[in-house]
Structure 1
Amino acid sequence: MTAETVKRTAFKYLVLLMLPMSIALVFGDKPCEAAENSRTFSFYFENDLFADTDQGYTNGVKLSWISHDLTGYAESGRLPEWSLPLIRRLPFINETGLQRNVVLSIGQNMYTPEDIEAEDLLEDDRPYSGWTYFGIGLHSKNERRLDSMEIQLGMVGPASFAEQTQKLVHELVGSQRPNGWDNQIKNEPGLAVIYERKWRFLYDRDIGKLGFDVIPHIGGALGNVYTYANAGMEARLGWNIPWDFGTSLIRPSGDPNAPLNAQDPRVSSDQGFGLYVFAAADGCAVLHNIFLNGNTFTDSHSVDKKNFVADIGAGVGLIIHRFKLCYTHVLRTKEFEGQEDDQVFGSITLSFTY
């Protein structure tokens, strides 16, 4: 992309980023409730535009909503009655004495080969593919630990509408039209069941002071979209670091952005500002990835995936009253045999607590 195209693209994405903030301001005229009664809405946007490329994991968008703290999931009123007996039998997330949240999300990810101008099948590069999904997450937490279980349901293939999304955006910003979507993987319903545990260690901070914390995690996913085990950690340093479970990319495991208690600057009556830097890493042992392995039940284009992939990121977070804005610059190691370079992309998260 030319410098002018990058500028136009950045401007349009900035407008897109400001949209949820504008919506939040409409509902933001009342003081924020206490942490246990607050709800959090988050908008995620990821794109390789920030690395001046247009390939691999090229775009991701996600909206999520976290309920207020519940003593039981039946209180949410958003889960069907038939699901409650099953939820009560789930391990990890139904321990007594913990607070619970329901998390609802919707998102779309898209993946393309390096040469999007070519119309023919590029056998040595990854398939065109998209994933549009709805997620239901269940959180169980205290100030030291968060257990997350999420179920994602959606579609891969043409029914994900990733082709239409990318072509529309490229037309709007005047960049190269992607011509190879006729070679994308075929339609397939997608299901993923995800579990992840996060801890908070070494947290040493008070409102109005510098602080530091470390948030390790371990988890995994099972399904026809992806099956993997992962582990990693995040470290944060700054002024009025939020009392939550860190900064999340668009990946399975729910959303950790909700404030834990009244010491979070988003709900504190004394402070409404925070600024911090962070670094994070996640390693993933991959058994199956439909966006590389191709369709599960029919033949489609595929490549030989690598069995271990790592994300390494660093960024900055800003809190202004009820808003939390984070930018993460991410390096993802090669995902398949023959991939020439590691992938680099940027991730923006805007959260609003109300």
Structure 2
Amino acid sequence: MKATSSFSGLFCGVVSAALICSGSPLLAQDAEPPQNTDVTFQEQLTGRVASKKEDQYISLVIENDSLGAAGTDKNYTSGVRLGYLDVNADLPDIAYTLDRVIPTFGINETSSVFYSLGQNIYTPRNIRQREQDPNDRPWAAHLYGSIGLVTVTDNHLDEIEASLGVVGPAALGEQAQKFVHTHVTPSSPTPRGWSNQLNHEPAVSLGWQRRFPNYWSVDAAGLSLAASPYYGATLGNVHTFADVGINFRLTPEKDVWQDGPLRVKPGLPGTGYFDTPDDGWSWYLFGGVEGRAVARNIFLDGNTFSNSHSVDKHHFVADINGGLALTYDQYRVSYTMVYRTKEFEGQDDPAVFGAVSFGVRF
């Protein structure tokens, strides 16, 4: 109950702050929204994307329980992801192969490519304990790199992302957590149970997601409110799940659409694309809910090809999120708070964590 209250209070505060302020746009449209409702989202964006001079983006997102709850290192304790998005890039050969073999994906003038490097860390509730608690989740870390494609067709946006990495000691979870606890937050306890972490295992996944950015919208009092449903699936030895969700956004009317900040998977979708209106600054208030039907989660199920500790996972997990992004010139900073329901039997509390992201376009 305390976690839910803190989430609600922060979200309401963010809403109030945004309304006091009184925009930007993966792919954005001109300052004045088109009046022809028969024009597709793809047609709105094609000219804008082709004419962009600053068409490359670098984003860094840091997710941590200390940014959203009491700061206890347990469950999903840390995630870091560095992303690079090139809106007008020459697409790699694999993009055209995907175009031919995947009926849900097509190449056109809006197609873009993105790359990511990231690390996730998961720990039990008591990191001072050297022995593995048989009723708590395994110690685990995931280090990965990924390549993705995003394209707009008619009124929907498709994303495909392939990821390759490693789970186990080579993912450097122990070194990363001990470095932070020693040099960044020296008052934090020393994690002592990393000798129990999951064994080495290659980590492979392929994900697809379809979004409908302007499924519903209404403009009033100089503001634009919109809803964007989405669904998708991820397949691999790390994660296998299907997801469905809906995001809401509130922006100044002149900045009818912009994409969400970059997040660590399986967080809400977003490429980190943004633009800036003529007056040089903008804001973007967002929130949403997502449900996932989970068939596999290596961080709960344990290693795929060797014996390791595991717990009984929940097959349905939901996220509720809300946040605010602020843009000035070619820079954007955002904060997101996430409430995630319990993921396994015996988990004492739902997870509440925050995500801070920084983006620059050039």
Which TM class, normalised by the smaller chain length? 0.7 to 0.9
| Residue aligning to 1:54 | 73
Does residue 69 (structure 1) correspond to residue 56 (structure 2)? The answer is: no
| Residue aligning to 2:212 | 199
Which letter does structure 1 place at the counterpart of 2:59?
Answer: S
Against the structure 1 CA distance between its residues 332 and 94, is the aligned structure 2 distance closer, same or farther, given a 3 Å change threshold? closer
Which stretch of the first structure deviates more once superposed, 215-224 or 139-148?
A: 139-148
Does residue 257 (structure 1) correspond to residue 275 (structure 2)? The answer is: no
Which stretch of the first structure deviates more once superposed, 91-100 or 186-195?
A: 91-100
Question: How many Å separate the matches in 2 of 1:95 and 1:136?
Answer: 17
1:221 maps to which of 225, 234, 245 = 234
Report the 3-state secondary structure (helix = DSSP H, G, I; strand = E; otherwise coil) of the residue aligned with 1:304.
coil
Against the structure 1 CA distance between its residues 119 and 324, is the aligned structure 2 distance closer, same or farther, given a 3 Å change threshold? same
Q: Following superposition, which runs of at least 4 residues in structure 1 exceed 4 angstroms of deviation? A: 252-255
Unaligned runs of 5+ in 2: 1-47
CA drift at 1:204? 4.8
CA drift at 1:35? 4.3
Which letter does structure 2 place at the counterpart of 1:146?
Answer: L
| Residue aligning to 1:184 | 197
Question: How many Å separate the matches in 2 of 1:248 and 1:233?
Answer: 16
Contact 2:301 2:312 in 1 (8 A): yes
Contact 1:103 1:254 in 2 (8 A): no
CA drift at 1:202? 2.6
Report the 3-state secondary structure (helix = DSSP H, G, I; strand = E; otherwise coil) of the residue aligned with 1:178.
coil
Against the structure 1 CA distance between its residues 163 and 40, is the aligned structure 2 distance closer, same or farther, given a 3 Å change threshold? same
CA drift at 1:162? 0.8
Question: How many Å separate the matches in 1 of 2:301 and 2:309?
Answer: 8
Which letter does structure 2 place at the counterpart of 1:296?
Answer: T
| Residue aligning to 1:114 | 125
Unaligned runs of 5+ in 1: 1-33
Against the structure 1 CA distance between its residues 85 and 353, is the aligned structure 2 distance closer, same or farther, given a 3 Å change threshold? closer
Which letter does structure 2 place at the counterpart of 1:249?
Answer: R
| Residue aligning to 1:293 | 301
| Residue aligning to 1:16 | none
2:58 maps to which of 41, 55, 75 = 41
CA drift at 1:245? 3.1
Report the 3-state secondary structure (helix = DSSP H, G, I; strand = E; otherwise coil) of the residue aligned with 2:306.
coil
Number of aligned pairs? 306
TM-score by length of 1: 0.81
CA drift at 1:223? 0.5
Question: How many Å separate the matches in 2 of 1:167 and 1:300?
Answer: 23
| Residue aligning to 1:243 | 257
Against the structure 1 CA distance between its residues 254 and 101, is the aligned structure 2 distance closer, same or farther, given a 3 Å change threshold? farther
Report the 3-state secondary structure (helix = DSSP H, G, I; strand = E; otherwise coil) of the residue aligned with 2:198.
coil
| Residue aligning to 2:323 | 315
Question: How many Å separate the matches in 1 of 2:65 and 2:195?
Answer: 22
Deviations 1:310-334 (A, max 9, x none): 1101111211111222111111000
CA drift at 1:246? 2.5
Report the 3-state secondary structure (helix = DSSP H, G, I; strand = E; otherwise coil) of the residue aligned with 1:229.
strand
Contact 1:234 1:281 in 2 (8 A): yes
Map 1:131-146 → 2, pairs under 5 A: 131-141=142-152, 144-146=155-157
Question: How many Å separate the matches in 2 of 1:190 and 1:274?
Answer: 39
Identity among equivalent pairs (%): 37
CA drift at 1:205? 5.8
Question: How many Å separate the matches in 2 of 1:84 and 1:276?
Answer: 31
Deviations 1:231-280 (A, max 9, x none): 10111113355733334531159742224xxxx4x2x4x23211232211
Question: How many Å separate the matches in 1 of 2:289 and 2:105?
Answer: 28
Which letter does structure 2 place at the counterpart of 1:202?
Answer: W
Deviations 1:159-213 (A, max 9, x none): 100110001110112110000000001000000000001111234569x942222
Contact 2:99 2:107 in 1 (8 A): no
CA drift at 1:143? 7.6
Against the structure 1 CA distance between its residues 84 and 197, is the aligned structure 2 distance closer, same or farther, given a 3 Å change threshold? closer
Against the structure 1 CA distance between its residues 204 and 67, is the aligned structure 2 distance closer, same or farther, given a 3 Å change threshold? farther
Against the structure 1 CA distance between its residues 65 and 256, is the aligned structure 2 distance closer, same or farther, given a 3 Å change threshold? same
Against the structure 1 CA distance between its residues 199 and 69, is the aligned structure 2 distance closer, same or farther, given a 3 Å change threshold? farther
Question: For the aligned residues, what is the CA RMSD?
Answer: 2.3
Which letter does structure 1 place at the counterpart of 2:257?
Answer: W
Against the structure 1 CA distance between its residues 249 and 68, is the aligned structure 2 distance closer, same or farther, given a 3 Å change threshold? closer
Which letter does structure 2 place at the counterpart of 1:257?
Answer: G
Question: How many Å separate the matches in 2 of 1:226 and 1:309?
Answer: 13
| Residue aligning to 1:91 | 102
Report the 3-state secondary structure (helix = DSSP H, G, I; strand = E; otherwise coil) of the residue aligned with 2:192.
coil
Does residue 343 (structure 1) correspond to residue 358 (structure 2)? The answer is: no
Does residue 281 (structure 1) correspond to residue 289 (structure 2)? The answer is: yes
Question: How many Å separate the matches in 2 of 1:97 and 1:85?
Answer: 11
